[in-house]
Each structure stands twice: as C-alpha cells, then as structure tokens.
Amino acid sequence: MRRWIVLTLFGCTLLGLNLVGRHLQREDGITSPQWLQQLPWFVAIALAQGAVYLIAVWLVLRDGPAPRSLAVILVFAALLRLTILFAPPYLSDDIYRYVWDGRVQAAGVNPYRFVPADPALQGLRDGAVYQHINRRDYAHTIYPPLAQSIFLGITRVSESVTWMKTCMVGFEVVAIWLLLRLLVLLGLPAQRVLIYAWHPLTVWEFAGSGHVDAAAIALLAVALWARQRKFPALTGIVLAGATLVKLFPALLFPALYRRWDWKMPLAFLVTLAAGYVPYASLGTSVFGFLPGYLQEEGLKTGWSIYLLNVRGRTRLASRRHDLGRGVLRPFVTALSLVFCVLAALAGCGPVRADAVPDDGQLYTLRSVAVRECASVISIEHSAVRGFWPAHAIAPTGAGPCAGEVLVRRGGECWPLILPLTHE
C-alpha cells in the first residue's frame, strides 16, 4: 500500500479521536463544574492519539521525499486544529488572562501594576473574561513584554477567546512553514514536519487552549532558520524575542551560539533589555508573578519535578515505615539515572556531514529541527497537567523525544539542554 494512503488512514484516525475528545467536552469547557470528572476520559483519548501519532512518526522517518504524503500531512494538520478551534478552552484558562492583559493595556494601564481584582481596574471587568481569570485576587501577570504586545495587538481586533486561539494557530502556520524550509536546507524529507504538525499536544494546547507558546515556537523556528543561514545578529534578536514571549527559549542559547561569535550574544542581550524598557518604571515588578509562580508550583523546592518528588516520597516512606530502605530508594535513583542516560543518547545521534558549519563544530540542528521540535513544544502545559505522572504523558507530551528528563508531576516538562548543544 502506498505510504500516503497509510498516512491518510492514520490522519482519519487522529481526526476521529479529536472529534470524540471534543464531544466529551461540555460547551463551557474548563469552566464546567464537571470538568474534573471528564478529564480521565479525555486523557484516554489523548493517549490513544499519542499511540497513533508515534506510528505515523515511525512511518515518515523511514520514508524518502514524497509530495503526496506531505500534502496529506498538511491537510490533516489543518483539520485537526479546525475541529477544536471554535470550542471553548478545555485544558487551561490562561487564555482569559491573555485577553485581560490586552484589555488593561488598551486602557493605558501597565499590566504589571495591578492584579485583576484591584479596585483600580473595576471598570474593565465583565462576566465573559474576568470571572474566568485564574489567581485574579493575588497574582500579577506573569507574561513577558513581547507576549504583552501580542495580547494588545490581538485584542484590538477582537477580545473573544476564539480570535485569540485563531491567532495562535496563525503562529503555528508560520512555525510549520519555517520547519519545512529548515528541512529543505538540511536535505531532509519535508514530510518530517509531521513530528510537529500532528503532535497531539500542539493541537490541543494551541488550537484547543490558545497558549501563547505558539508565538514563542514560531520565533524559535525563525531563530533556527537564521542560525542555519549564518545570520548571527538576527539569530540573537529573534531568540530574545522568543524569550520575551515565554522564558524557556533562553535554554536554547547554547544550541544556537557559535564559538567566538559576539554578534549573536550581544544582539540577544540588547533585544532582551530593550523589551523591558517600556515597563521599567515598575522596577522588579516587571517580572510579575514569576517568583510567586515558582514557589506556588514547587519549582523552588523540587516537589513538582516528578522524579525528585518520587524520590522524596520514597525517602519519607522509608523513614515512616522502615520499608524499602534498601530496595525502593536505590531503585528510584537508578531509574532517574536511566532517564538521564536516555536523554544523553537522544542528543548524540549521527549528524549529516553537510550539516557541519564552517567552524568545524558538529552542530545538531538536524536533531533540533526534526526531533526536538516536539520536545520544545511540550515544555509547557501537558494535556494532563496536575493529575498524572510523567509515564502517563509520555506518548502525548514527550512523543519520540527522550530529551525530557525532569518532567513535572503537573505535566510541565523541562528538557535537558544536552540534546540541543554542540557535540
């Protein structure tokens, strides 16, 4: 059977599961009182999608250039997003904060100055957006300056949640187009863009929940393209832009830096500083709720990092019950080491000779473009955040990437930098 026909069957299966997942959601999405009871059924759908997705990835990695397969991939990538684009957000309510921040800025107020519940903003409240903002009573906005500019621009057209989600899908279109350009530059089959385009997490989190990470991913794709075309200043500017949308792209700095180059780091730092200038009057308050978020989500103590949490609970159980002191703790430690080894191996695959830059370093852009793109996108907000351990989200959140070692029990993944650095 021809490969494009097989991909069509897999695409139809993913689309059918998408429709089932959409059917399981109530019309009020995450604001529904029954949301928590519905979530396990959605997780089952997402895991089934993950299994289908992995088989599709295996197929495209074995295939050579195939225009028909690429067409099938792009068509189903669009259909997967369209089926949930007009539904209310289901996995996260962050998008209401996006709309609120845009509204606050349009009123001439610095978004880092007040929490949403502050009396100074009472005139901006409504039932459609304000009531659904998380942490509205005590948390300032956490989103960096460029994200704030994006919120302002989008909400000047419409303050609807659907419009915000549509714009995030638009950023995805840019990212997919640039990934296609990267694959061509690297001499790799274009249909490998499926690794990103069909990833269940990207579909549900961007078309479904409208997360601003889509803008960061689009800028990261520009940075990867600029790095491959040897535009160091542009690479630094765009990487800083991605960092000003969501902070995690800064982790990719070692992957994009070329030894002895000064233009890229200088452009990165200048752009980063310039982004905060419009909000600098508030001093350290421009970082918003970030310090409180790190504390609230357990990143400072490590309790929300799954492997560290398991090891801590094992130690506590050993002390309380004197059970497993000689077995469980060494087992969990060994399991953590295995994860680290797998992550290291994920970043040490063979690199094409024609992908080696002029400075003689083996640059792993190939891995970044065709494998780690899924790893990057799953840094934030797994579809099963807060309820399931790392092994449960592996098929959907991590995909084929072994670079995600420290996976938060809340579903957020912090990828090891090693798979993205020079070898």
Could you read off the pLDDT of 238-249 as tens digits, one per residue?
999 999 999 889
Q: What is the pLDDT of residue 93?
A: 87
Q: What is the pLDDT of residue 400?
A: 32
Q: What is the pLDDT of residue 176?
A: 95
Q: What is the pLDDT of residue 297?
A: 60
Q: What is the pLDDT of residue 362?
A: 31
For 100, 112, 116, 213, the CA distances from 276, given in Å and listed in that order, are 20, 11, 21, 19
Q: What is the pLDDT of residue 20?
A: 87
Reported as a single tens digit per residue, the pLDDT across 130-146 is 988 988 888 888 899 99
User: What does the alpha-carbon distance between residue 34 and residue 52 come to, in Å, rounded to a whole number?
Assistant: 28
User: What per-residue string of b and e applies to 218-235 under the rule 16 or more CB within 10 Å gives b?
Assistant: bbbbbbbbbbbeebbbbb
Q: What is the pLDDT of residue 31?
A: 57
Reported as a single tens digit per residue, the pLDDT across 264-309 is 999 999 999 999 888 777 776 677 656 656 665 655 566 656 666 6
Reported as a single tens digit per residue, the pLDDT across 184-199 is 888 899 999 999 999 9
CB under 8 Å to 353, separation ≥6 — which residues?
none
Q: Residue 380, by phi and psi: left (phi above 0), alpha (psi -120 to 50) or beta?
A: beta
Q: What is the pLDDT of residue 401?
A: 33
Q: Residue 201, by phi and psi: left (phi above 0), alpha (psi -120 to 50) or beta?
A: alpha
Q: What is the pLDDT of residue 343?
A: 60
Number of other CB atoms surrounding residue 365 within 10 Å: 22
Asked whether the whole model's pTM tops 0.95, one would answer no
User: What does the alpha-carbon distance between residue 232 and residue 208 come to, in Å, rounded to a whole number?
Assistant: 35
The pair of three-digit structure tokens given for residue 44, joined into one six-digit string: 């089952």
Tell me what percent of the residues of the chain surpass a pLDDT of 70. 65
For 66, 284, 354, 400, 421, the CA distances from 199, given in Å and listed in that order, are 20, 37, 28, 10, 23
The letter for the amino acid at 65 is: P
Sequence-separated contacts (24+) of 413-416 with Cβ below 8 Å: 413/375, 413/378, 413/379, 413/382, 414/248, 414/305, 414/379, 415/251, 415/343, 415/372, 415/375, 415/376, 415/379, 416/340, 416/343, 416/344, 416/347
Q: Is residue 69 a contact partner of residue 89, using CB atoms and an 8 Å limit?
A: no
Reported as a single tens digit per residue, the pLDDT across 3-60 is 888 899 999 999 999 898 887 776 655 556 666 666 777 888 888 999 999 999 998 9
User: What does the alpha-carbon distance between residue 226 and residue 241 come to, in Å, rounded to a whole number?
Assistant: 13
> Mean of the per-residue pLDDT values for the chain?
75
Average pLDDT over residues 115-143: 89
Reported as a single tens digit per residue, the pLDDT across 377-421 is 332 233 223 333 333 333 333 333 322 222 233 333 333 322 222
Q: Is the pLDDT score of 226 beyond 70? A: yes
